[in-house]
A and B are shown apart, each in its own frame.
Chain A
């Protein structure tokens, strides 16, 4: 659903040098990491994007086009009153990917951020309970990064064998 033109105009006014694009009806905007917390607060309070649809991340290590940085964190937002959608991107580097958490704004971000931390290793500052959610607690790898193989590194078969004699 194309975003309301009034919202697009307000975005252009607020973020004059942010890259804005549109593809198949989705409006996307790229925001720098430093201005991300203020931007998210502005989007929620003033532009009324009250429904957080998803928080996800893409690892651009092997991507064909040149992207500003390795990890692209994507926030998908929606407005329940007039059904607008917006995609906000923040690019994070691979050395120390940290970003302030949006849990104070949308409570639903809690588990989304835990999952992004579990799968990619991005640390969300200010998150109430940042620990692994899908992988076992003791695992150390970040599976969805492009340098982790699909079959893993041997963790899946690292268990004792029970035979009839022993069980």
Chain B
């Protein structure tokens, strides 16, 4: 592994600045953002240049997508943004269903909205918690983690796994939601605002936190658009783009919520946008959980895309035919020879999948458009001129998930 990437060394020597010293913020470091490496050039405590070096978790997700079924690949999408895996599942199947032209049932769409919002809350809790942890607020981190454990309980009652739950399937879900889960969600929605208030009281007006994060890592609106930034980071810089409102998918049209934006674009703004987005997600959850429509959760069996129940397989001819079509190895879901891009608004930004179908059950190309990859490219631009202790605060505010970064 080379110590310093080649180009920056040449530039350094050319400028004749050999009082600068190099610090390796290596792939193994205490900031909880796992396996990314930044080679910092420091002038005392000021960062003059930062060269990111990634690829320490590159596992070939896109190549695996060419060998796994559309329903098998959802297990791999879980492991991308692993702090909000349900959102990745919803994003993948949104893209697949767009390619196949499938329209979901109302109940399924409501449940997918619920799980996306729970995943968003879970993601924001961890990212603000990690930001707190890195700047020294350990209690904040423990509060956030306890609330995430409650989210895990909800996911576990829905599908059995705490996280990395591959809950969605083509045309529906793994299985329907039960009243036990709905009761847990109601309880969470009732009690989470109190904890959120306590967490805000800890950090929002905390002198140390505010001094460390205000005015640090400022991103202007034009730069945000030019550098392809989406999600809470763009909204904290003034870009009012939120796919839930601009290109509504699932049932987001039915809900009354607001898009949280700020103008200043510094680290503190990103923290505040995430805390505000959690409140908006709670609003959506309250409305959604009371209004889940009754009905089937998977699409009709004559569309030949989702596996029917065993009772349908044994008692109706349509069920048997669909089961046969989907399970036999030389048949499968009918996929056109086309390409489609489907994007959803996850907690980190716009997560999209670009799918190329050939007529078989596996995708010909499954490309993931990862928000973390783009946001990490922002890092050298944001950190120039700041001190070493700001590196950690800015990195925390960008919410870089290494698995999504490297895929």
Contact = CB atoms under 8 A, between A and B. Distances in A.
In the complex, are there CB atoms of A and B closer than 8 Å?
A: yes
Interface of A: 1, 23-24, 26, 28, 50-54, 56, 58-59, 62-65, 74, 76, 80, 83, 85, 87, 106-112, 115, 119, 129, 131-137, 143-144, 150
A1 B369 contact: no
A144 B354 CA distance: 15
A131 B5 contact: yes
Interface in B1-36: 1-2, 5-7
Given A23-B339, A83-B246, A143-B63, A131 B6 contact: yes
B226 A56 contact: no
A26 B226 contact: no
Contacts of B354: 54, 56, 74, 76
Contact of B101 (A24, A64, A134, A136): A24
Interface in B82-103: 98-99, 101
Interface of B: 1-2, 5-7, 54-55, 58, 60, 62-64, 66-67, 98-99, 101, 223, 225-230, 239, 241, 246-247, 337-341, 343, 350, 352, 354, 356, 358-359, 364-365, 367, 369, 373-374, 376-377, 406-407
Given A23-B339, A87-B341, A110-B377, A58 B356 contact: yes
B258 to A, nearest CB: 18
10 contacts: A54-B352, A63-B364, A76-B341, A87-B341, A106-B228, A108-B228, A108-B374, A133-B55, A137-B1, A150-B67
Contact of B55 (A24, A58, A134): A134
Nearest to B356: A58
Contact of B359 (A64, A85, A144): A64
The 4 closest A-B CB pairs, nearest first, are A108-B228, A134-B55, A108-B227, A134-B58
B239 A64 contact: no
B191 to A, nearest CB: 37
A53 B350 contact: yes
A115 B358 CA distance: 24
A58 B54 contact: no
B406 A107 contact: no
B64 A50 contact: no
A90 to B, nearest CB: 14
Contacts of B367: 54, 56
Contact of A50 (B5, B58, B99, B226): B226
Nearest to A83: B246
B interface secondary structure, majority = mixed
A53 B246 CA distance: 15
A62 B340 CA distance: 19
A36 B406 CA distance: 29
A22 to B, nearest CB: 11
Contacts of B223: 107
Contact of A83 (B227, B247, B337, B359): B247
Contacts of A53: 228, 343, 350, 352, 369
B60 A143 contact: yes
Contacts of A119: 62
Contacts of A26: 340-341
Nearest to B228: A108
A39 to B, nearest CB: 19
A9 B356 CA distance: 27
A134 to B, nearest CB: 4
A149 B64 CA distance: 11
A63 B364 CA distance: 8
Given A23-B339, A64-B358, A131-B6, A144 B63 contact: yes
A64 B356 CA distance: 11
Given A134-B55, A143-B60, 8 more contacts: A50-B226, A53-B369, A59-B365, A63-B364, A80-B239, A83-B246, A111-B373, A133-B55
